[in-house]
Amino acid sequence: TLGKKIKENKMSNLVEEYFEAHSSSKVLTSDRTLQKLQKRRLNQQTLHDLLKKAPLAYAAEIKELNQQHESLFSKWMLQLHLGFNIVLYGLGSKRDLLEKFRTSMLQDSVHLVVNGYFPSITVRSILNSITEEVLEHIGTFRSPLDQLEFIVKRFKEDSSLELYVLIHNLDSQMLRGERSQQILAQLSSLPSIYLIASIDHINAPLMWDQAKLSLYNWLWYETTTFSPYVEETSYENSLLIQQSGSLALSSLTHVLRSLTLNARGIFRLLAQYQLENKDNPSYPGLSFQDFYQQCREAFLVNSDLTLRAQLTEFRDHKLIRTKRGADGVEYLLIPVDDSTLTDFLEKEDEDA
Amino acid sequence: QQIQEDLSKQLFDNLVSFLRRSHSEFQEKTTEWTCRMKSKEIPTAALVLGVNVTDHDLTFRSLSEVLQNNITPYIALLEAKDCPGIKNLMQKLMGQLMNCYVDVDSLEDEDYVQVSQNRVRCSMTSLINWYKSVTKKTDSETPRKKRTSSSRHWQSPPVVVIFRDMESFTTKVLQDFIVISSQRIHELPLVLIFGIATSPMIIHSLLPHSVSSLLCIELFQSISSKDHLSTLIDKLLLTAQFPFKLGEKVLQVLINIFLYHDFSIQNFIKGFQLCIVEHFYSQPLSVLCCRLVDAKKRVDSLSHNQCENIRRLPSFRRYVESQVSEKQIALLTTDSYLKEIIQKLLEDLHVYHENYVSVLRCLHVFTSSLPKYPLGKQIRELHCACLEDQVWETEEYESSLQLARMLNKSDLVTMLQQCVEIFVSSSGKEFDKTVEKLKEFLTQFQKLEAEAFQEQDVSVSSQKELQKKTDLYHLQKTLLELKESRRSKKLTKFEMLRFEVVDYIDSLVRNYLVPADHKTLHEIVYFNTASVLREHLNAAPRIALHTALNNPYWYLKNQALKSDGGTISNKAPDICIAYKLHLECGRLINLVDWLEAFSTVVMAVEGPNADAASSDQVDDIIHARFIRAVSELELLGFIKPSKQKTDHVARLTWGGC
């Protein structure tokens, strides 16, 4: 009973801590900002260079840790073949470890590496690479579900097909959605697909419910490596780094999600128009007047002024760019490459 | 590895057949009911299946199989994830029905292929047309065809639609489907089956009255998964059939995961599988974990190294120490002698298991009827208790024996009869004597019945005596006498016998229920590393992160990192320092302050050897390191950028972690 009491105490402490942290809406922090700091903001490249100069601490110990994990490789292989899938957790990047696993164990078998941390990755691209490169099927599918069905069928028919799938950061922004996880889980439940994945986020297990967990059939392995997340964080747009110009799909969806329904509709309209004209090299963009007319017809704005306000907001987030044409008319463009835009629209359709 | 595959296959077959059997009754009821139903409303069966969603797969699969064999070829199984809208639902439904039909009759009609490819135009009308054409076809087919189909199915077989997970369907889709199909029920005899995980109330909360009035619902309850578990344990662990056994701690972990987390049989089986894999992978002597005949052969072919492994087993060492010295030397040096002994020991172990199971069941018969269940209600609890330690030394066992000594006769007799049955059916040879003894007890009890009347007379006479005396003094005297006599009165024959029986059971327990740890060579068949199981099945990623960030010494064995209590040394990796500093903040963190604190800590380490000239350079590097640490923390989900105040981040955790 003593242990129980202690546990209870701990529990109530945790609860109290939560309410303590969230009790007052007033925040007591100083008002200093980075602007006032006498320092230029670093950009991605200089940051990388600087970090290269800083020596990695405790290299020997980290190496030892890695060796410990590497001794498990053959065991993993056995367990993968017995129908389990493996998930790695723990502090530190597990990229090199998985890479090593790949080079040492999977040299002569068909395998697929998915870089989950890559901000423009989608489930569709994973499925595409399976159908196109592994199954050598040419053709398109209406929906990811159809594609999945096709894959399942092929793998069930042909028992000689085997595929190892390595996913770095299964819990990344793009893959953590319910539907993507559902599809990946179903994929991993196929007996001839062996999945080995890594997770980093503290709340990553929240994305799996009972059904998905049983499909995944995870075996958990703690692989704390302490190695820095070089690749993984290079896409994470930190506050402290100067933003690079191009927009990524993830940030695009992120910003759009926080907008009102009408604002999203406006952006969508523009995106669709731009995609329709993507083959036209001389397309200058949509003029403001035309755009206003279209938005009005779709009941998205009711006055010239609201549309201008909305566009200003887009411009602040670098979602659109305006250009003055030869005739002095304002033209609107989305400074994102077409494939990202297509992906974005597709994703919007799915969510809707 | 080969053995292991065999073993797991055997295990799986056993499981599947068992699950089938347990479902079959339930299914029969459903099928019977499906045959019976015919009314204007849509007949609906609601199957309440319990929260262990993962196990339902097998249920539905076998249900549709049974239905297919007995009633109708038209079955569609719909899952919520395939049906976000009514259009998808209809597509899926038609696709499955047509495929079903083709499957059953193996008809290679081009019509159907065409239709199934053309799934875009799936509507109720086309479904009905298809149904009509199919039924017509079966009506007007060749005699052979007709005979087969009509003997198995009726003239117009119902179309069964199974909704696998009722809770996760969108309400609108479900309602629309029901309304649409209810309008055409005359043309298309439809039967719906809902799989419900929670309670039947969900039907009424999902469907409004206008829709649910179109259904004619009957409720079916499946067996609870706890009962499944008991049978599973009974079949898997409490038999001598499987050579592989689970240790107490491992079993405890598995049961705990089951009872406190998910109620899922599948996960339990998965855990069991993992145990098998782990055991055969890590324990070099697990080659001997097989049937006795095979094991003996394998002992003969053991290499010298393997013999050494055996000598190294702790249980074997204990055995050696209990032998006389010449024998010890022989055991430790001569391989051939060792092999001989091993064979004998393995045989012992085998016999022990056989006896163990029947005695355990016997004891369970006794303890499970006692009030308050001191040793547990289920046999698995008893099994755990027996594995854990010598059961007769526990308090619970003591109290249960005491309670057993107060049992009345009819209970005792039935229990004894059950025990006899158990022993008779058990394969162990040693129980002939036991059975005899128990039977003897039984006959004695029968004899006692006659004597019982006599006893009653005695007590009655004493009562009479009491009534006769009216004198106060005499009354007191007789009362005292009576008391005296009662105190010194010998126990009745029944009581004597009862004690004897209980003592006998006690002795049985002492002889046969020795915990497995005390047996020699138990390492070969028992898997006892519970920590492995807990790590791989029930992992705690947050705890791992917390320890790594809070106490890096745990992983990186460097003396510089060693520190006591809550503090952290300033030589720790950057991310640990940043984490530690962020723990001290409230809900929002000012980046500038954080950076400054970070650089103070880091500078303190580098301070002595950093000269003033390159301080700007050092500053930049520290800045970069800070950025890296912060973005790593963001990746890990400890903080996120906040818009509430400029250059602030919000903490997403609270307290220590």
DSSP B384-415: HHHHHS-GGGSHHHHHHHHHHTT--HHHHHHH
Task: For B589, list phi and psi in degrees, rounded to 5.
Answer: -125, 130
Contact A34 B588 (CB under 8 A): no
**SS3 label, residue A214:** helix
Beta bridge partners of B217: B44
Chain A residues closer than 8 Å to B54 by CB: 210-211, 213-214
Q: Nearest Cα to B318, choosing from B522, B468, B94? A: B522
Q: What percent of chain B has pLDDT over 70?
A: 66
Residue A352: the pLDDT is 61
In chain A, what residues touch B561 (CB-CB under 8 Å)?
58
At a CB cut-off of 8 Å and minimum separation 6, what does B434 contact? Answer: B423, B508
Contact yes or no for A335/A268 (Cβ under 8 A): no
Residue B535 is which amino acid? Answer: E
Compute the count of residue pairs across chains A and B with CB atoms less than 8 Å apart.
Answer: 195
Burial of B548 (0-12, 13-18, 19+ CB in 10 A): buried
| pLDDT (tens digit per residue) in A121-139 | 888 888 888 888 888 877 7
Are A29 and B586 within 8 A, CB to CB?
Answer: yes
Q: How far apart are CA B303 and CA B135, in angstroms?
A: 70
Name the residue in chain A with its Cα closest to that of B571. A57
Best B58, B267, B277, B556 member to test A by mutation, with max A CBs in 10 Å, is B556
Q: Are residues B655 and A13, on separate chains, in Cβ contact within 8 Å?
A: yes
| Subunit contact A30:B590, Cβ cutoff 8 A | yes
B637 touches chain A (CB under 8 A): yes
* Interval B143-192: pLDDT, tens: 333 333 433 444 566 778 888 888 888 888 888 888 888 877 777 777 78
CB–CB of A222 and B54 under 8 A?
no
ipTM for the whole complex: 0.76
Chain A contact for B635 (CB, 8 A cutoff): yes
Q: Domains in chain B, please, with CATH?
A: 1-101+156-223 (3.40.50), 228-452+490-524 (no CATH), 541-608+615-651 (1.10.10)
> Is residue B391 within 8 Å of residue B492, measured between CB atoms?
no
Interface contact flag, B635 A229, Cβ < 8 Å: yes
Interchain proximity B544–A222, CB inside 8 Å: yes
Tens of pLDDT along A77-101?
Answer: 888 888 889 999 988 888 889 999 9
Candidates B538, B545, B622, partner chain A, best to mutate (most A CBs within 10 A):
B545
- Interchain CB distance below 8 Å, B628 and A92: no
- pLDDT tops 50 at residue B117: no
**Closest Cβ opposite residue B621 in set A54, A199, A204:** A54
3-state secondary structure B338-366: HHHHHHHHHHHHHHHHHHHHHHHHHHHHH
Q: Which of A263-272, B394-403, B448-457, B644-653 has the lowest mean pLDDT?
A: B448-457
pLDDT single digits (tens) A274-306: 888 877 777 777 888 888 988 899 888 888 888
Rounded (10°) angle between helices B409-425 and B431-468: 180
pLDDT digits (tens, 9 = 90+) for A324-341: 877 778 888 887 777 778
- Strand, coil or helix: A311: helix
Per residue in B245-302, pLDDT tens?
888 888 888 888 888 888 888 888 888 888 888 888 877 777 777 777 888 888 888 8
Query: Distance (Å) from the C-alpha of residue B546 to the closest C-alpha of chain A?
Result: 9
Tell me the three state secondary structure of residue A325.
coil
Nearest CB partner across the interface for A42, out of B1, B262, B623? B623
Helix runs in chain A, H state only = 2-23, 44-53, 59-70, 73-81, 95-105, 123-129, 144-157, 178-188, 210-216, 230-234, 249-257, 261-276, 288-297, 304-316, 338-351
Cα separation of B97 and B131, whole Å?
10
Measured CA angle at B463 (ends B459, B465), to 5 deg: 115
How close B229 gets to chain A, by Cα (Å)?
A: 18
**Arithmetic mean of pLDDT over chain B:** 73
Mean pLDDT in residue range A188-201: 89
Locate the chain A residue with the closest alpha carbon to B51: A210
Inspect the interface and report whether the beta carbons of A233 and B631 lie closer than 8 Å: yes
Higher pLDDT, B273 or B467: B273
pTM of the model: 0.76
Query: Torsion over CA of B309, B314, B315 and B316, rounded to 10 degrees?
Result: 40
**Which residues in chain A are closer than 8 Å to B603, comparing Cβ atoms?**
none
pLDDT at A102 over 80: yes
Are the CB atoms for B216 and B46 separated by under 8 Å?
Answer: no
Backbone angles phi, psi at B229, to 5 degrees: -60, -45
Cβ <8 Å between B638 and A238: no
B120 touches chain A (CB under 8 A): no
pLDDT of residue A119: 78
A75 chain-B contacts, CB cut-off 8 A = 281
Confirm if B103 and B68 have CB atoms less than 8 A apart. no
d(CA B638, CA B271): 32
pLDDT at A206 over 70: yes
Look at A152-166, B74-88, B503-517 and tell me which has the smallest mean pLDDT.
Answer: B503-517
A238, A241, A350: best to mutate for the B interface, most B CBs within 10 A: A238
Return the higher-pLDDT residue of A182 and A252.
A182
Long-range pairs for B452-457: beta carbons < 8 A, 24 or more residues apart:
B452/B494, B455/B492
Quick one: average pLDDT of B218-222?
Answer: 79
Would you state the pLDDT for residue A52? 74
- What is the per-residue pLDDT across A222-255, written as a single tens digit (0 to 9) for each? 888 888 888 887 766 655 554 444 556 777 787 8
**pLDDT for residue A336:** 77
Chain A residues close to B556, C-beta within 8 Å: 58, 61-62, 65, 226
Instruction: Tell me which residue of B367, B369, B349, B361 sits closest to B410, measured CA to CA.
Output: B369
> Is B79's Cβ below 8 Å from some Cβ in A?
no
The shortest CB-CB distance from B624 to any of A51, A203, A236 is to A51
B544 in contact with A, Cβ within 8 Å: yes
CA dihedral A242, A245, A248, A252 (to 10 degrees): 90
> For the ranges A43-52, B197-206, B262-271, which has the lowest average pLDDT?
A43-52
Question: Per-residue confidence at B207, pLDDT binned at 50, 70, 90?
Answer: confident
Closest CB to B549: pick one of A29, A39, A91: A91
Chain A nearest CA to B48, separation (Å): 17
User: Distance (Å) from the C-alpha of residue A297 to the closest C-alpha of chain B?
Assistant: 28
Both tokens of A235, joined, read 């896409």
Which of A11, A175, A239, A251 to probe the B interface (max B CBs under 10 A)? A239
**pLDDT over threshold 70, residue A39:** no
Q: Is A334 exposed, middle or buried (0-12, 13-18, 19+ CB in 10 A)?
A: buried
Model confidence at B533, pLDDT cuts 50, 70, 90, reads confident
Out of A57, A202, A211, closest to residue B573 by CB = A57
The two three-digit tokens of residue B173, written as one number? 């889709």
